[in-house]
Amino acid sequence: MKTLLLLSTLALCAADFAERPDPWITGKVRSAFAFQKSVSGLKIEVEASGGVVTLRGVADYEAQKDLAAEYAAEIEGVRSVTNLMTVKGERTGNARGGKVARSVRGSRGAANRMTVE
C-alpha cells in the first residue's frame, strides 16, 4: 500500500514538472494579462514556441512593457520571454544600445530568462 501511494505521489510530481504545450502557455499568458489591471487594456500579441514567449504590441509606458514581460515569465512552462513591444512615442531602434536580460523567479522558483528589447 505504501509503495502504491509513493508511486502515485511521484507520478503527480512528475506531471507538475512536465513541459507545457505552447497553446497552453499562450492561453495562460493571455489570461494573466486579462487579470492584471496594469496591462489588461493593451493589445498584446502572444506567441509561444518551445516555451519561449514572444510579446508584440504597443504599451503606453515603459513600465507596462516591462510588467507584461514579467507577468509572462511567471507562467509555468515559460523558459524565456522576448519582449518586442514598443512604447507609444518611442523612437524606432534601441535607444539603450543593446539588449537587457535579467532572470525572473517563476512561481515554482525556477529561473526564467527575460529579454527586453
SS3 114: strand
The alpha-helical segments, DSSP class H, found in the chain are: 2-17, 22-34, 62-73
In a domain, 105, yes or no: yes
Provide the β-strand partners of residue 45. 56
Number of folded domains in the chain? 1
In a domain, 2, yes or no: no
In the structure, how many helices (H) and strands (E) does the chain have? Answer: 3, 6
In a domain, 98, yes or no: yes
In a domain, 3, yes or no: no
Tell me the pTM: 0.65
* Residue-level pLDDT at 98: 38
- 38: CATH: 3.30.300
* Residue-level pLDDT at 54: 98
* Residue-level pLDDT at 116: 56
Provide the phi-psi class of 93: left if phi over 0, else alpha when psi is between -120 and 50, else beta: left
* Residue-level pLDDT at 114: 59
In a domain, 6, yes or no: no
* Residue-level pLDDT at 18: 61
* Residue-level pLDDT at 41: 84
The per-residue pLDDT string of the chain (117 residues; one tens digit each, 9 = 90 and over) reads 555 444 454 444 444 446 899 999 999 999 999 999 999 888 999 999 999 999 999 999 999 999 999 999 999 999 999 999 999 987 655 544 334 444 444 444 444 555 555
Q: Domain containing 52: what range?
A: 20-116
